[in-house]
Structure 1
Amino acid sequence: MKALYVTLLALAIFSCKNTNDEAMVYEDAKQVAIDSMKMEMAKQRVIDSMKLEAQKQQEQARKEVVVVNQATPATTTTTTEKKQWSSAAKGAVIGAGVGAATGAIVSKKKGEGAIIGGLAGAGVGAGTGAIIDSKKKK
Structure 2
Amino acid sequence: MKKLFSILILALVMASCSNKAKDEALRQVAIKAVKDSLRLDSFKKAEVVKKQEQERLAKAEADKKEKKMLLLSRQREATAENAPATAQQAAPARKKGWSDAAKGTLIGGVAGAVGGAIIDKNKGRGAIIGGAVGAGTGYLIGRGKDRKSGRVQKN
Quickly name the TM-score band, shorter chain normalised. 0.3 to 0.5
* Higher helix fraction (1 or 2): 2
What TM-score do the two structures reach when normalised by structure 2? 0.36
Greater C-alpha radius of gyration: 2
